Amino acid sequence: MEITLNSGFKMPIVGLGVWRMEKEGIRDLIINAIKIGYRHLDCAADYRNEAEVGEALTEAFKTGLVKREDLFITTKLWNSDHGHVIEACKDSLKKLQLDYLDLFLVHFPVATKHTGVGTTDSALGDDGVLDIDTTISLETTWHDMEKLVSMGLVRSIGISNYDVFLTRDCLAYSKIKPAVNQIETHPYFQRDSLVKFCQKHGICVTAHTPLGGATANAEWFGTVSCLDDPVLKDVAEKYKKTVAQVVLRWGIQRNTVVIPKTSKPTRLEENFQVFDFELSKEDMEVIKSMDRKYRTNQPAKFWGIDLYA
């Protein structure tokens, strides 16, 4: 199942996110994911495991497990490389051992102090607050992203963690419209206005943290996951599915791409088994009523500033 982007390319609606994946386990995880049927991998320079992903991809290609053109590979520009977009993209391509990217995203709508291409540091000032570079505009960054398309390095470009205002601005100054806006969205943080705005203007929404962060965000940010909600457990029981499968299916039926992360083989398979059932309109409404406007991914913990304030 795929969504056709405004660039004309097709993006699989379920992908595997590799955030916080241990380097030593990535090879087996990606090979297993491809065998299960995953054809979409969501990476980022900031995850600091592009090289390991690249080794796994090269093995998959060389052994004939899959062809390059059958995969959709996303990675992202880190904040500290906004002034070095082309170099950063080439660095990611080298690490991933690829000739082109299917999708390259601006990871966050903020430029920070440059610390060296691909280092993905988040430099803090003496006050402990993120050292934001106020000399580089998002418009400048975007026009450099557009150059990547004309250079043949990237097929589609997009944004991530942009709100309605920033997305609207990007539409206004862009020559190549953003194909994707990747945002946190799940039953506790539905962001219906942003999702509808993007979709109205031909921008595909990808849901990062589609399961509400679960264990990973609970560990880092002390947040609560929707997977433990009794209402969702009741819905899951009705369909004889897991809560995670119901939540992913809800995301798919919103016409959003979902990129769940897991390092567990059983969950890897489970998260892909979401195409053999459909939630009723009534159950979609039940889940819609659960919105708490509850963000679980909050980098302010590390940056000393709430960029969403």
DSSP letters, 72-106, are: EEEEEE-GGGTT-HHHHHHHHHHHHT-S-EEEEEE
Q: Which two tokens stand for residue 301?
A: 């913990």
Rg for the chain, CA atoms, rounded: 19
C-alpha 231/C-alpha 19 separation (Å) is 28
47 belongs to the catalytic site: yes
Of the residues 38, 47, 162, 188, only one is catalytic, namely 47
Backbone angles phi, psi at 87, to 5 degrees: -65, -40
Closest by Cα among 142, 143, 134 to 162:
142
C-alpha 271/C-alpha 5 separation (Å) is 23
Cβ within 8 Å of residue 104, ≥6 positions away: 74, 75, 76, 77, 89, 92, 145, 148, 153, 154, 156, 157, 158
Do 181 and 202 touch, CB atoms closer than 8 A?
no
C-alpha 78/C-alpha 114 separation (Å) is 10
C-alpha 74/C-alpha 28 separation (Å) is 19
Closest by Cα among 105, 49, 50, 56 to 81:
105
The verdict on whether residue 84 carries a ligand-binding annotation is no
Torsion sign across C-alpha atoms 78, 80, 83, 88: negative
The 8-class DSSP code of residue 203 comes to: P
Buried/exposed 21-44: b ≥16 CB within 10 Å, e otherwise: beeeebbebbbebbeeebbbbbbb
Question: Which residues line the annotated binding site?
Answer: 107
- Residue positions forming the annotated binding site for substrate: 107
Tell me the catalytic residues.
47
